[in-house]
A and B are shown apart, each in its own frame.
Chain A
C-alpha cells in the first residue's frame, strides 16, 4: 500500500511550508534568546511563501493523503483568507507588542500554527481532521488570548475561552461519535453519499445538532456567543483581529464544508435551526452593540451580528449561499482586521484609549487614519460601494432564493440598526472636538498593512466579480 504519493506533498505544499516555518521559528526562538525579531521574520516569510504557493494551487480541488484533506479549489480559496489574516495580524502585532512590552517570539509561532489548524479545518474531508484542525487552532488561540499574562482581563479572557472551548470540543466529539455510530464512517464524502437515507435517523440528526452547537460556539453565534465580548476585549487587540477574522473564517469554512458541501440540508430541520440561530445572532449582536462604549466590545458584538448575516447563507444551503459566504468572509476579514489594526494604534498601555470618546476629533490630528477608519466603518455597515455591501447582498439573495425571505428581511432591518453605531464613530471622529491622538509613531509596515486592507475593501466593493467568478466552480465536492 502506498502511504504517501508525491502529489500529496506537492498539493499540500502551502500547509507543509507553513508548518515548517512555524517549527523553524520555534527553533530560532529557542536558539537565539531574546530576539523575537528572528521569529517574526521567519513566520512572515513562511506565511508569504505559503500565500504564493496557494495562489499557484487555485485550480480544481484534489483529495490527498488517502482522502483525508482536499487541496486546491475551495481549500485554496479559504487558505487565502486565513493566510492574509495571519499576514496582516503578524505585521500589525510587532509594533503593538513592542509598545505593550510583550514582544516575544512565541507569539508568531502560535499564530503560524493556528493558521495551519485553520487550513486543515477548511480542507478537511474527514471528521478526524475537522476535530484536529479545530483543536490545533483553538489551543493556539487560548494561549494567545492570555498572552499578556499580567493583565487581569487577559487572564479572564483566556480562562473563559479555554473552559467554554473545552465544552464545545465535548459537543463536537459527541456529535462526531454519533455520526460515526450511525453512518459507520468519519469520511465526509462517504457520508454525503448516504445522507438522504441517514437524515431520517434521529441519532444522526442529534449528532448533526451537536456539530451545529460546536461550530456555533466557534463562530460566536447566539446563543453560544457569551464568550466573545469578554475574550475579544481581554485579548491583545491584534489577536482579537486575528480571532475575529481568521478563526471565524476557519470555523465558517468547516461549517460550509460539512453542512453545505456534504450534507444536503435544504428542507430539513437542520436548515430551520440554522436560520433561527442566524436571526438571533443578527438581532442580539446589533442591538447589544448599540449600548457599548468600548470600541473593542462594540466590534465584538458587531462580529456576532456579522456571524448572523453569514449564517443565513449556510441556512439557505444553496450554491448562492456558499458563494455569498465565501465572498463575505474575504470582505469581512479585510474590513475587520483594518478596524482592529487602527484600534491597536490608538490603544495605550493598561487598556487606555479604547472608549468611543477617545476618537473624538480624530480627523483633525490624524486625517489619513480617520479616512481609513471611516472606510472600514462604512464597509462594516454595508454601505455601497464598499465590499461589505456586496457580502450582505449575496447572502441575503441566497436566503431569498431558498424561500427564507423573512431571514433576509431581518437581516436588512438589523443592518439598518447597525449603521447607528458604526457611524457614531465616524461622527465622533469628524464632528466632535477632542484630544485623541495616535501616541507613538506607527511604523510603515503596519500602515501599509491597514492601507492594503482598505484598498482591497474598496476594490472588492467595485469589482466583486473578481472573487465571485472564482467561487462558482467550488460548489459540492
Chain B
C-alpha cells in the first residue's frame, strides 16, 4: 500500500477515535484533552491535502489558542465555583434531528462532489505566498475590516472584564 494512503488512514483514525472520546467521555477535562488529538489529526489531513497554510493555522489557532483557553476555562471554573464539571446527555431528540440533518448534508456534499481520482500533482506548491498576496490586493478591504473587528473585540473584552473604576 502507498505510504500516502497509510498516513491518511492513520490521521483519519486519530481524528475519529479522539472525536468519539470527546463526545462519549463523562469528564469534561478528558474531553478537552481528546479534542487536542482531534485538532491535530485534522491538521495532519490538511497537510496531506497540500494546504500548508490551513494546517499551520489549525495548529496555531485551534491547538495553540482555543484549546488552551478551553482547558483554562474548565480548570478555573471548577475551582472557583466548586462545581464538578460532568457532562450529561440532555435533549436527545432535537440533537438527533439536527445531527442527522447535518450528516445528511455532508454526505450529500460527499456524494455529489466530483472528486479528482488522480493523486495531487507531484510538485508541492506553497499556498502561503499566494494567500498573502491576495490579502493585500483583492482582499485588502476585508483584511483591514478584520483588524477593526479584532480591535473592537479587544475593547469589548477590556470593557466587560476590567476592574471597577469610580463612576462619573
Q: Which chain A residues have a beta carbon within 8 Å of chain B's beta carbons? A: 1, 3-4, 19, 26, 34, 36, 65-66, 68-69, 98, 101-104, 106, 109-110, 113, 116, 120, 126, 128-129, 132-133, 135-136, 139-140, 142-143, 146-147, 149, 158, 178, 181, 202-203, 206
What mask results when residues 151 to 164 of chain B are scored 1 for a CB within 8 Å of chain A, else 0?
11101100110001
Q: When the two chains form their complex, are residues A203 and B105 in contact, meaning their CB atoms are under 8 A apart?
A: yes
- Distance in angstroms from A407 CB to nearest chain B CB is 28
- Which residues of the other chain, B, contact A135 by a CB distance below 8 angstroms? 149
For B146, what are the chain A residues with a Cβ–Cβ distance below 8 Å?
132
- Pairwise interchain contact B167-A101, C-beta atoms closer than 8 A: yes
Residues of A within 8 A of B89 (CB): none
B124 to chain A minimum Cβ distance, whole angstroms, is 24
Of B47-55, B64-72, B132-140, the segment with at least 4 beta carbons within 8 Å of chain A is: B132-140
Report, nearest first, the 7 A-B pairs whose CB atoms are least far apart. A143-B156, A65-B141, A132-B145, A101-B167, A68-B141, A66-B138, A128-B142
Tell me the nearest residue of chain B to A150, going by C-beta.
B164
The 17 listed contacts between A and B (C-beta, < 8 Å) are A1-B137, A3-B137, A36-B168, A66-B137, A66-B140, A68-B141, A101-B168, A104-B159, A104-B168, A113-B151, A120-B145, A129-B145, A135-B149, A139-B153, A149-B164, A178-B109, A202-B108
* A181 and B109 in contact, given A140-B152, A143-B159, A143-B160 (Cβ under 8 angstroms): yes
Contact A110 B156 (CB under 8 A): yes
**Is B121 part of the binding interface, using a Cβ–Cβ cutoff of 8 Å?**
no
Residues of B contacting A101 in the complex (Cβ-Cβ under 8 angstroms): 167-168
Partner of B156, one of A65, A104, A142, A178: A142
B24 within 8 Å of A (CB atoms): no
Determine which of A113, A120, A181, A202 lies in contact with B152 in the assembled complex, contact meaning CB atoms within 8 Å. A113
Which residue of chain B is the closest to A181 with respect to CB atoms? B109
Cα(A320)–Cα(B83), bound, Å: 57
Dominant secondary structure of chain A at its interface with chain B = helix
Task: Say yes or no: A203 contacts B108, CB within 8 Å.
Answer: yes
CB-defined contacts of B166 to chain A, threshold 8 Å: 34
* A65 touching B109 in the complex, CB below 8 Å, given contacts A101-B167, A110-B156, A139-B152: no
Q: Which B residues are in CB contact (< 8 Å) with A19?
A: 148
B82-123 vs A, CB cutoff 8 Å, 1 = contact: the mask equals 000000000000000000000001001100100000000000
A147 CA to B162 CA, complexed, in Å: 12
Asked if B160 contacts A34 (CB within 8 A), the reply is no
A65 contacts B152, C-beta separation under 8 Å: no
Contact status A26-B140, CB under 8 Å: no
Closest residue of chain B to A106 (Cβ to Cβ) is B159
Residues of chain A lying within 8 A (CB to CB) of residue B155: 26, 106, 109-110, 143
8 more contacts with CB within 8 A, not counting A65-B141, A66-B137, A103-B167, are A3-B136, A34-B165, A66-B139, A69-B141, A110-B152, A139-B149, A158-B160, A203-B108
Set of chain A residues within 8 Å of B108, measured between Cβ atoms: 202-203
Which residues from B are CB-within-8-Å of A133? 145
Task: State which of A68, A146, A178 has its C-beta within 8 Å of the C-beta of B142.
Answer: A68
Tell me whether B142 and A132 are in contact (CB under 8 A): yes
Q: A34-B168, A113-B148, A140-B156 are in contact. Are A206 and B142 (CB under 8 A)?
A: no
Q: Interface residues of B toward A: which range?
A: 20 to 34
Query: Within 8 Å CB of B137, what residues of A?
Result: 1, 3, 66
The answer to whether A136 and B109 touch (CB under 8 A), given A102-B167, A126-B142, A128-B139, is no
Which residues in A have their C-beta under 8 angstroms from that of B148? 19, 113, 116, 136
Q: What is the CA–CA distance of A19 and B156 in the complex, to the nearest angstrom?
A: 16
| Contacts A106-B159, A203-B112; A65 near B145 (Cβ below 8 A) | no
- In the bound complex, what is the Cα–Cα distance between A178 and B140 (angstroms)? 24
Q: With both chains docked as a complex, state the minimum distance between the C-beta of A309 and any C-beta of chain B, in angstroms.
A: 31
Residue numbers in B under 8 Å from A26 (CB-CB): 155
Closest A residue to B136 by beta carbon equals A3
Tell me the nearest residue of chain B to A116, going by C-beta.
B148
Least CB distance, A323 to chain B, in whole angstroms: 29
- The distance in angstroms between the C-alpha atoms of A178 and B136, with both chains bound, is 25
Which among B105, B164, B166 has the highest number of chain A CB atoms within 10 Å? Answer: B105
Q: In whole angstroms, what is the CA distance A189 to B89 when docked?
A: 45
Find chain A residues with CB under 8 A from B145 CB.
Answer: 120, 129, 132-133, 136
Task: Establish whether residues A129 and B105, one from each chain, have CB atoms under 8 Å apart when the complex forms.
Answer: no
CA distance A142 to B140 in the complex (A): 27
Chain B residues with CB under 8 Å of A143's CB are 155-156, 159-160
Cβ–Cβ contact B156 & A139, under 8 A = yes
Q: In the assembled complex, which residues on chain B have CB atoms less than 8 Å from the CB atom of A109?
A: 155
A149–B160 Cα distance when bound, in Å, is: 7
A146 and B159 alpha carbons, distance in the complex (Å): 10
B138 touching A136 by the CB < 8 A rule?
no
User: Which of B112, B139, B149 has the most chain A CB within a 10 Å cutoff?
Assistant: B149
Q: Which residues of A contact B168 (CB under 8 A)?
A: 34, 36, 98, 101, 103-104
Q: How far is the CB of A464 from chain B (nearest CB, A)?
A: 35
Q: How far is the CB of B104 from chain A (nearest CB, A)?
A: 10
- A158–B156 Cα gap in the complex (Å)? 12
Closest to B133 in A: A1
Residues of A within 8 A of B138 (CB): 66
Closest B residue to A35 by CB, please name it.
B168
A145 to chain B, nearest CB (A): 11
Residue from A140, A142, A146, A203 in contact with B109 in the complex, judged by beta carbons closer than 8 Å: A203
A120–B160 CA distance with the chains assembled, in angstroms: 25
Q: How far is the CA of A181 from the CA of B113 in the complex (A)?
A: 10
Q: How many angstroms from the CA of A101 to the CA of B167 in the assembled complex?
A: 6
Q: How far is the CB of B33 from chain A (nearest CB, A)?
A: 24
User: A3–B164 Cα gap in the complex (Å)?
Assistant: 45
Cβ contact of A136, chosen from B139, B141, B149, cutoff 8 A: B149
CA distance A146 to B136 in the complex (A): 36
The residue in chain B whose Cβ has the minimal distance to the Cβ of A1 is B137
In the complex, the chain B residue whose C-beta lies closest to that of A155 is B160
